[in-house]
Structure 1
């Protein structure tokens, strides 16, 4: 089981929310602490599970999940206007305003 590891993320690329989601998803495997240092968000992770065999394993899993959540966040931002247009059209159609 790994000791405490430090994983740094550039604040210009990763949001704090994406990293918090990653912490939550992996909460059964490790305990997390997040700090802001200059242009980085630093995650301190301490392994809690025997499923984590090494420090590198924990770092790799966390980075993979963090990238997943950051991409989800980006997709939501990019599709927001389309989603709003579709909802507006659906509501207008339901009211008979088309």
Structure 2
């Protein structure tokens, strides 16, 4: 097992985004999360050689998903409102 430490700037990535990314790999290793100054620091051990790179890509992916979700929230709400208004559930 190799020890790894990754740092993410809190001005770029939220703790929630990082947690969602780490959740994907919880079956492969466990994580220690700390806040140091303006960085979220993740420490973990893994025998998978490219695990740190996988985690970095997943954090970016989760961040982009969050951004897209926020940008399309109004459209999704309109679609849902329209769908429910056609069902007769809303008077």
TM-score, normalization: structure 1? 0.81
Paired positions, count: 90
Matches within 5 A, 1:1-98: 1-2=1-2, 4-47=3-46, 50=47, 52-53=48-49, 57-95=50-88
**Unpaired segments of 5 or more residues in structure 1?**
none
Offset at residue 28 of structure 1 (A): 2.1
For structure 2, the 5+ residue unaligned runs are none
Q: How far is the alpha carbon of 1:27 from its aligned partner?
A: 1.4
Q: How far apart in 2 are the matches of 1:79 and 1:65?
A: 21
Moved over 2 A (4+): none
Q: Secondary structure at the match of 2:13?
A: coil
Instruction: Report the RMSD for the aligned CA atoms in angstroms.
Output: 1.7
Q: C-alpha distance in 2, partners of 1:96/1:64? A: 42
Q: Distance in 1 between matches of 2:19 and 2:51?
A: 16
Question: Of Structure 1 and Structure 2, which has the larger fraction of its residues in helix?
Answer: 1
The DSSP-based 3-state class of the residue aligned with 1:22 is: helix
TM-score in terms of structure 2 length: 0.87
